[in-house]
Amino acid sequence: MNNKALKVLFFYNGIFVLAGSLLGPLYAVYVQKFQSGVLAISVSWSAFIISATFFIYLLSKIGDRFKEKEYFLLAGYLIRALAWFLFIFIGNIWSLVILQIFLGLGEALGTPTFEAIFAEHLDQGKFLAEYSNWKLITNIVLAIGTLAGGIIVAKFGFTPLFLAMSALSAVSFIGVLLKPRKLL
């Protein structure tokens, strides 16, 4: 691939996807420590989805007014890095729900913005190839992250996992921040 903008996006968002995939299916195990039963998992995850949906709606109304969309992407990385760090300090299901709402804001700012920037940099006649390349990267990274997350939690617990997630998200933030705006 010769497209420098897509290479940068793929690299740093790939690191970010790795961060998020470390928790993956372990989220249910994490929530079980506060309250047993599937309802707590469903309520907290629903809070995330509803929050993300609400903030995505707001972004859809104002996002295209901003020339530098990269700042939304950066905010998404930063908010999620902070939220994942704060998971370390969560002590009950209701504080988890509040944190999930905050995480939904990060999701709403980051994911649609990544997709919009990605779409802006697609090469004419290579749409399927470039989308496929991104999907290949994400699938590989998701598989690696899910396995690595299980190993980290099994050997060290959730605190190192959340620290790793936050650090990887911070790497994505710093990497995109330091790239020239004209590249993205």
φ, ψ of residue 181 to 5 degrees: the values are -55, -35
CA atoms within 13 A on the CB side of 48: 15
Residue-wise pLDDT tens digits, 130-175: 999 999 999 999 999 999 999 999 999 999 999 999 999 999 999 9
pLDDT of residue 52: 98
Q: Whole-angstrom Cα distance, residue 46 to residue 59?
A: 20
Torsion of CA 170, 175, 176, 179, to 10 degrees: 160
**Burial of 18 (C-beta count, 10 Å sphere; 0-12/13-18/19+):** buried
Q: Which helix (H) or strand (E) holds 2?
A: none
Residue-wise pLDDT tens digits, 59-116: 999 999 998 899 999 999 999 999 999 999 999 999 999 999 999 999 999 999 999 9
**Residues of the chain above pLDDT 70, percent:** 100
Residue-wise pLDDT tens digits, 25-63: 999 999 988 877 789 899 999 999 999 999 999 999 999
pLDDT of residue 105: 98
Residue 13: pLDDT band with limits 50, 70, 90: very high
* CB crowding 27-37: b at 16 or more within 10 Å, else e: beebbeebeee
Local structure of 122: helix, strand or coil: coil
Per-domain residue ranges for the chain? 4-178
C-alpha distance across the termini of the chain, in Å: 16
31 Cα distance to chain centroid: 19
pLDDT of residue 182: 82
pLDDT of residue 184: 83
- Please tell me the CATH superfamily of domain 4-178, with its number: MFS general substrate transporter like domains (1.20.1250.20)
Structure pTM? 0.94
Q: Whole-angstrom Cα distance, residue 27 to residue 162?
A: 11
Taking alpha carbons only, the member of 36, 41, 6, 17 closest to residue 148 is: 17
